[in-house]
Amino acid sequence: MTKQGLKMPDNFLWGGAVAAHQLEGGWQEGGKGVSIADVMLAGKNGVPRVVTDGVLPDGNYPNHRGIDFYHTYADDFKLFKEMGMKAFRTSIAWTRIFPNGDETEPNEEGLQFYDDMFDALIENGIEPVITLSHFEMPYHLVTEYGGWRNRKLIDFFVRFAEVVFDRYKNKVKYWMTFNEINNQTSWKDPHPMLQNSALKDYSEDEAQELMYLASHHEMVASALATKVAHEINPEMQVGCMIAMNPVYPASSNPKDILFAERAMQTRYYWGDVQANGKYPNWLLKMWEHKGFNIGVTEEDKEILAKYTCDYIGFSYYMSWTVSDTGDEWLEYDETTNHGDNPFLKQSDWGWQIDPVGLRYAMNWMWDRWQKPQFIVENGFGAYDKKDENGEVHDDYRISYFQNHISEMEKAVVLDGVELYGYCPWGVIDLVSASTGEMAKRYGFIYVDLDDMGEGSGERSKKDSFNWYQKLVKSDGVDLYNNED
C-alpha cells in the first residue's frame, strides 16, 4: 500500500512564516526607526551575535538588508501563491509605525506599507497572520525606558496595537502579541533578554527577577491588546505565541520525572497566565521564597483573568532532556540543565530533531489550556548547496517536514486537537534570528545572498517547493509525493 498522510479538515490554513526584521531590509526607509534587531551584528554557528551601542559605521548588520523583501514582496507573493500557500505569517515592524515607540501619532508611511502588503496578499488569496512584536522593538525603548521592566511600555504597546488593529480591521483576522514570549527562561543569556523584553544593562543577580517582572508587564499588555482587538472587531482572533520545546526526563527515575515536570511548568507558565488567566501557585511560592517583587496588582489580576488569548500560537523545532539537580525548589535553569537525548539526532546547529514530540506537545497543550492551536513555526535550518545546474535538492528538509507533519496530522485527526493551520518557518530563506547568518537556510525558496549580503538576491525553487505544493493541494494526504 502506498504511504499517505491524513486529510486535514477543510479550511485548514497551510501557510508559511517569517518575521519583518529577518527579511524586509529597508531599515531606514519609509520613516522607520532603529529597532533592537538593527543593533545586532552577525554571529555564526556557535558564535553569538553582539549587540552594539547604537549602529556602528562598519558593522555587519544583516537585518539592515534582510532579503530586500521591502521591495520584492509583490513578486515573492506570486511564488507563495504558486506553492499553494493559504496563509502568511509575518510581523509588523513596530518601528515602521512608531519609530521610537513612544510617539503619540503613528507614521503614515509605515501604515501604508503594510496596507499595500496586506492588499497584495489578499489579492493572491493568502490570509495574513500577524505578530505585533517579534524581536524587533524600538531600540529607543531600551535606552530611554529600560525596556519591559518599565510599566510605561504597556501603554506604548497597547497604543501600537490599537492603531494597527483599527487600520487593518477588515484585512487581518489572526493576530499574535509577543513572539515566543516564554523564550526567556534562559535569563542568564543576554540575547533573549534583549530580543524578548528589551532588557539590557542589568546585573547577573537581578536577571531572573527582571525577567519575571518584564514578562508580567508584557502579559498585561497582551491581555489589554486582546480586549482592544475584540472591541474593534469581535471576529479578530488574538493568540499568545509560545516556543514549545517539550522537556523530557532523562530516565524513569521519579526524581527526573518530577524535575522535568517543573521544567515544563517553568517554561509554560506564560501559557497558563495567557490562556487560563492566572499565575500558578508554584511560581507565586517561588517568588515569595526568593523575595522577588513583581508588583502584580489586583487590577492586573482582573485584566489577566478577563482577557485571555483566543488561541495558542506556537513554534516547534526540538525537544530537550533534563535530569534532577537535587535542588529542593526544583529550580530549572535552561542554560545549564539540558542533556543529549540518545534517541534523537541533531541538526548542524545542535537542535534535537523530534517529530513525535510535536504530537506529544499538541496533546499536552490541548489538555492544559483547551484552546485552539496554530503552528506558526516549524522547520529545518540547514546548509543548502546548489548543484552544477544551480538546483537545491533538499531531501533532508522534505524528510524533516514529512516526519513532523505526519505527527501533526495524527494529533488532529486521531487525537482531536483543534488546529487552525500550519506555517512552516522561513518559507523563503532569510536572516537567522539567533546567529544572523543567511547560511542557516529554512526556505522552500532559495535566495541568492550570503552572510555578507553578497549575491544577486535572485529567488529559485528548491525541491521542497514542489513537494509542499503537492502536499497543500492534497490537503495533507500526498505527504510522501507518491505520484508525479
Closest CA to 312 of 239, 398, 208: 239
Grid coordinates representing 231 are 472591541
Residues sharing a CB contact under 8 Å with residue 105, sequence separation 6 or more, in sequence order: none
Question: Strand (E) positions, 426-483?
Answer: 445-447, 459-461
Catalytic, out of 180, 218, 409, 437: 180
433 touches ligand BG6 by CB under 6 A? yes
To ligand BG6, the closest distance from the beta carbon of 257 in angstroms equals 27
449 touches ligand BG6 by CB under 6 A? no
Do residues 91 and 19 make contact, with C-beta atoms less than 8 angstroms apart?
Answer: yes
User: Cα angle at 46 between 436 and 33, to 5 degrees?
Assistant: 25
To ligand BG6, the closest distance from the beta carbon of 440 in angstroms equals 5
Grid coordinates representing 240 are 499568545
Backbone angles phi, psi at 360, to 5 degrees: -60, -50
377 touches ligand BG6 by CB under 6 A? yes
Residue reference for cell 513612544: 102
Closest CA to 395 of 329, 300, 336, 480: 480
To ligand BG6, the closest distance from the beta carbon of 180 in angstroms equals 5
**Residue 35 carries which DSSP code?**
B
Residues sharing a CB contact under 8 Å with residue 212, sequence separation 6 or more, in sequence order: 287, 292, 294
Closest-by-Cβ residue to ligand BG6 is 434
Beta 445-447 vs 459-461: how paired, if at all?
A: antiparallel
To ligand BG6, the closest distance from the beta carbon of 21 in angstroms equals 8
To ligand BG6, the closest distance from the beta carbon of 179 in angstroms equals 5
To ligand BG6, the closest distance from the beta carbon of 40 in angstroms equals 12
- Identify which of residues 337 and 432 has a Cβ nearer to ligand BG6 in the complex: 432
- Identify which of residues 25 and 476 has a Cβ nearer to ligand BG6 in the complex: 25
To ligand BG6, the closest distance from the beta carbon of 433 in angstroms equals 4
Out of 381, 421, 424, 476, point to the residue binding ligand BG6 (CB under 6 A).
381
Contact range with ligand BG6 by CB under 6 A, out of 145-153, 219-227, 278-286, 425-433: 425-433
Beta 373-377 vs 311-316: how paired, if at all?
A: parallel
Out of 274, 315, 321, 406, point to the residue binding ligand BG6 (CB under 6 A).
315
Question: Strand (E) positions, 384-432?
Answer: 419-422
Out of 89, 397, 440, 441, point to the residue binding ligand BG6 (CB under 6 A).
440
Out of 269, 270, 425, 467, point to the residue binding ligand BG6 (CB under 6 A).
425
19 touches ligand BG6 by CB under 6 A? yes
Residues sharing a CB contact under 8 Å with residue 37, sequence separation 6 or more, in sequence order: 21, 22, 63, 135, 136
145 touches ligand BG6 by CB under 6 A? no
β partners of residue 445: 428, 461
Does 377 qualify as catalytic in the annotation? yes
Does 180 qualify as catalytic in the annotation? yes
DSSP conformation letters of 354-377: -HHHHHHHHHHHHHHH---EEEEE
24 touches ligand BG6 by CB under 6 A? no
- Identify which of residues 22 and 352 has a Cβ nearer to ligand BG6 in the complex: 22
Q: One symbol per residue from 99 to 118: x for binding ligand BG6 (CB under 6 A), - otherwise; what is it?
A: --------------------
Out of 434, 460, 466, 481, point to the residue binding ligand BG6 (CB under 6 A).
434
- Identify which of residues 307 and 442 has a Cβ nearer to ligand BG6 in the complex: 442
Do residues 185 and 214 make contact, with C-beta atoms less than 8 angstroms apart?
Answer: no
The residues annotated with a catalytic role in the active site are 180, 377
Q: Which residue ranges make up the site for ligand BG6 (CB under 6 A)?
A: 19, 22, 135, 179-180, 243, 315, 377, 381, 425, 432-435, 440
